[in-house]
Amino acid sequence: MAKKLYVGSLSYSTTDDALKATFSAAGTVVSASIIIDKMSGRSKGFGFVEMSTDEEALKAVEMFNGKEVDGRTIIVNEARPMTERPARAGGRGGFGSGSNRGGGRGFGGNDRF
């Protein structure tokens, strides 16, 4: 069992400190972090907890997986290494495809937008 744990289905109001305090019941928490969306600044509803030993990590999974924390039933399991993700298609900067511009009308003459 790895020392780093994935914690999913968290309440958006759960903080790093609250996550650390909760998991300290299973042993020594080296770090606890909630993943934050860069654009909105809000929690993404998941995070990671690093326990000091494999035994404590296993105990934390047994104690908290499927249990309620801050009103939500959370998922706790061994964190997997990050994998290479393919580049996103489009590359238009999130402004849509632009395929509906002009509404099918021509751009000359007396057309008004």
What's 52's domain CATH number? 3.30.70.330
pTM: 0.74
| Domain containing residue 20 | 4-78
Residues in the chain: 113
The whole-angstrom distance between residue 23's C-alpha and the CA centroid of its chain comes to 18
100: Cβ contacts below 8 Å, ≥ 6 apart:
none
pLDDT of residue 82: 84
Q: Check: CB of residue 36 under 8 Å from CB of residue 43.
A: yes
Number of domains in the chain: 1
Q: What is the pLDDT along the chain (113 residues), one digit of tens a residue?
A: 559 999 999 999 999 999 999 999 999 999 999 999 999 999 999 999 999 999 999 999 999 999 999 999 999 999 998 888 888 776 555 555 555 555 555 555 565 55
Cα dihedral sign, 88-93-95-101 = negative
In a domain, 96, yes or no: no
In a domain, 8, yes or no: yes
Please give the Cα distance from 85 to 107 (Å, whole number): 40
